[in-house]
Each structure stands twice: as C-alpha cells, then as structure tokens.
Amino acid sequence: MSLALAAAWPREADVGVRPVMVEADGSGGDLMMRFGLPSAPSLLDVAAAVGKPHPGSLLGAVSELPFGVRVVAAVPGRRPCTEAVRLLASEGGRGVLLGEEGVQGTVLLDVGRIGSEVEPLLRAAHQVVLVARGGAESLTHVSTYGLGAEAFAGRLTLAVVGPCPYPAEEIAGALGIERVVFLPWDAKGVAAMSRRRRGVLRTTGFRVPPLMTAVRLLARQLDGRGESQAEVQADGHIGRGLVPAMGDEGRPSWARR
C-alpha cells in the first residue's frame, strides 16, 4: 500500500520532488529481502543520526527500487528495527523525518502493525491511512487500535482492501472514521511492485493496474488535490470511495452476525 502511494503520488506536489517511503516497521526487512537491497544505507542510519547536532538529510539513507520509488528500508531483525522505530518516534527522530524548515518533499511512513511505539509518529503525521481487509473480523479489529476520531479528526482514512459487503457509510459511522475508501484486490498490480528487474510502473494513461488507479485517487485526496465528490462518484468502481461519516445508528451489521 505504501509503495503504491509513493509511486502514485502527484507529480505536481512538492515542486516535483519525489516522495520517500520509510519502512518504519518494527518487524522490518521486507523490502531488503524482496528486492535484494544492500544492508546499508538503512533505517538504522536514520536512527543513528537522531540526537546529533546536524543529523543530515533523510535522503542519505535512501535506496531506489526498480520501479523508481525511493525508500528507506529497514534491516531484517526485530530488535534493531524496534529500537530504530523507538528513536524515530522521539522528538529528535520526528525532526529528522520532517526535515529542516523550507525543505520540500513528502515522507510516507509504513509503520506496520499499530502499537504504542509508533503512536508518536501517528500523532505527528499530517495524514494517517489505516489499511484493513473488508471482512467482518478485520473491520472489527479496527476499533481496537484506539485511533480516536477527535485526536485524528480530518486526517484519518480507512482503506478497505478487497471485497467488502458493507457500505462505506455503515463502516464510517460505526467506526467513527470520517473517510473510507475501497481499494481493489489486485494481484497483478502487487506483483508489478515486487519484481527485481527495472521497469516502469504505470500510474496514468492506458492499461493502468486497478490498484494504481484507485491509489492515485487516494494520493490526490491525501495531498489535498483530490477530485470533487461528483468526479469521484462518476468514476466507476472508485465511485464508492470517499464518503463522509454518516453517524452511528446502532451496531454495525458485521457485529450482529
């Protein structure tokens, strides 16, 4: 999901500066193993810079994936990654991620599973996207994460991936999440982002993977450049996507089953 967002991020954003995706996941190592990336630079280099008088730019730890997305990859191993994430979540770490005043660019954090160690990162983020499958069990678990509507008002989006029998209005109202988007289950699109050989990942034009079409719309919404509600509704399968919360009129249907 985070790689797709980075690939589909609006080109006109940040004066054309490409975003950087940071694998701030305590489990770590997925990108290094998937793409055969070297062990350095990595998330550990960013964490090591925290607290230094001049920590330098996040770009010093960036690797480029075969389809052109810039990432800061975590190393395999829970202990070093967990400690690195803890340092990034500190005030100094958040300063490294945000960069100096006037620096252009967007940082996309993939925090993996939500836990207490990443809560400071979520609080500092301009936008938070929570990803879940569309089944009853997965949606019920969303309510246990403690992402209160007040604390994240206006900046929390739930991205429901794959088939979902529940309408967006019901999900939004029951969970108290203002924005709910539906993303297709697109195995071919995911496979295109997992290949080690260099290639172009289509995000616009003809023959764009369904996932990239939907994520491109989400990226524009997150960046504040989204299409109007009428345009969203006019776009076929994406028309279900972005809706306001309608209020909780009782227990959701998945909780009654």
The proportion of the chain whose per-residue pLDDT surpasses 70, expressed as a percent, equals 86
- The yes-or-no verdict on residue 228 having pLDDT over 50 is no
Please give the helix or strand (H or E) that residue 254 lies within, else none: none
> What is the average per-residue pLDDT within 66-83?
93
* Type of residue at 191: A
Positive or negative: CA dihedral 143, 149, 23, 162: positive
> What whole-number distance in Å separates Cα of residue 21 and Cα of residue 7?
10
DSSP, res 13: G
- The yes-or-no verdict on residue 168 having pLDDT over 60 is yes
Query: Cα 161 to the chain's mean position, in Å?
Result: 13
pLDDT band at 201 (very low <50, low <70, confident <90, very high): confident
pLDDT of res. 234: 34
Please give the helix or strand (H or E) that residue 107 lies within, else none: strand 107-110
pLDDT of res. 130: 95
pLDDT band at 103 (very low <50, low <70, confident <90, very high): confident
- The yes-or-no verdict on residue 248 having pLDDT over 60 is no
Taken in order of first residue, the domains within the chain and their CATH numbers are: 1-123 (3.40.50.300), 126-257 (no CATH)
Q: What is the pTM of this model?
A: 0.84
| CA end-to-end span of the chain | 29
DSSP, res 157: E
> What whole-number distance in Å separates Cα of residue 22 and Cα of residue 74?
8
Positive or negative: CA dihedral 147, 222, 136, 153: positive
